């Protein structure tokens, strides 16, 4: 990799994912029912903000790298938004199970929702530019959107007075997180392999322009 920013982004992404995996291994929370945010109340809960911070740093480095290479400001802004949301999720823990919604819990909840929206949107924006990872990015972004809808099902059930106990909310949330981390990794790979890529319309304009045109004398 020629870009130190992208290399640093992948290092942070790998370490953040490893910290999240370690948290799942050393904790006894049920991954089918328990939400990832509940790890904060376990003995090794310090791994959660560490993981989120590292993932945020990786995404921010990718965003800066893409912006410096003029690879699309919308995608860079979406990655930056995802980074900010991940930092907020780590800084403001959710409420303990059974407690009413507090300010910290509210910030945590809405920052998580915004992050879950930003990354699939960034994946679709990057996929629209083409490249070898475009098809995978598009498929994963749509999958993340479907998983996000499934995550919202328990909240919708509670609003209408239904018990969401049978819904594996923890599993669907983890599917969203894993999918979005893979999207982030593919975006980073696109930043490396798709350097200097321009939309087809812009390339066509350049190709149609005369190369050796000599200005005529009057």
* Alpha carbon distances (Å) from 172 to 33, 39, 77, 102: 9, 16, 26, 24
Residue 192 is predicted with a pLDDT of 79
Q: How far apart are CA 39 and CA 27, in angstroms?
A: 8
User: What is d(CA 65, CA 40) in angstroms, rounded to the nearest whole number?
Assistant: 32
Neighbours of 110 (CB within 10 A): 14
Contact assessment for residue 37 and residue 108, using Cβ atoms and an 8 Å cutoff? yes
The predicted structure's pLDDT at residue 194: 60
Taking only the tens of pLDDT, the chain with its 218 residues reads: 457 888 999 999 999 999 999 999 999 888 888 899 999 999 899 999 999 999 999 999 999 988 888 877 899 999 999 999 999 999 999 988 778 889 999 999 999 999 999 999 999 999 998 888 899 999 999 999 999 999 888 878 777 777 777 778 889 999 999 999 999 999 999 887 764 454 444 444 434 444 454 444 44
Number of residues in the chain: 218
Instruction: Round to whole Å and give the CA distance between 29 and 100.
Output: 21
User: What's residue 175's pLDDT?
Assistant: 95
- pLDDT at position 214 is 47
Q: Write the burial class of residue 163 (CB in 10 Å: 0-12 exposed, 13-18 middle, 19+ buried).
A: exposed
Q: What is the DSSP string of the chain?
A: ---HHHHHHHHHHHHHHHHHHHHHHH----TTTS-GGGGGGSTTTTHHHHHHHHHHHHHHHHHHHHHHTTS-HHHHHHHHHHHHHHHHHHHSPPPPTTPPP-HHHHHHHHHHHHHHHHHHHHHHHHHTT-STTHHHHHHHHHHHHHHHHHHHHHHHHHHTT---TTS-HHHHHHHHHHHHHHHHHHHHHHHHHTTT---HHHHHHHHHS-SS--PPP-
Helices 134-159 and 169-193: angle between axes, nearest 10 degrees: 150
Of 26, 75, 91, whose CA–CA distance to 183 is shortest? 75
């Amino acid at each position: 990799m020629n870009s130190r920013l992208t290399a640093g982004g992948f290092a942070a992404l790998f370490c953040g994912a490893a910290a999240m995996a370690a948290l799942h291994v050393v904790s006894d929370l049920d991954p089918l029912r328990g939400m990832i945010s509940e790890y904060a109340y376990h003995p090794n809960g310090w791994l959660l903000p560490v993981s989120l911070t590292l993932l945020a740093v990786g995404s921010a480095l990718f965003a800066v790298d893409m912006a410096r290479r003029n690879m699309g400001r919308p995608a860079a802004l979406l990655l930056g938004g995802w980074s900010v949301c991940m930092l907020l999720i780590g800084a403001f823990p959710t409420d303990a199970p059974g407690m009413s919604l507090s300010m910290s819990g509210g910030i945590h909840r809405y920052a998580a929702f915004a992050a879950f929206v930003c990354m699939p949107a960034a994946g679709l924006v990057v996929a629209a530019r083409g490249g070898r990872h475009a098809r995978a990015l598009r498929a994963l972004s749509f999958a993340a959107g479907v998983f996000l809808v499934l995550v919202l099902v328990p909240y919708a059930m509670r609003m209408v007075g239904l018990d969401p106990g049978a819904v594996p909310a923890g599993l669907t949330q983890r599917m969203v997180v894993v999918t979005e981390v893979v999207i982030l990794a593919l975006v980073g790979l696109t930043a490396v392999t798709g350097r200097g890529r321009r939309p087809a319309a812009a390339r066509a304009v350049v190709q149609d322009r005369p190369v050796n045109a000599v200005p005529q004398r009057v």
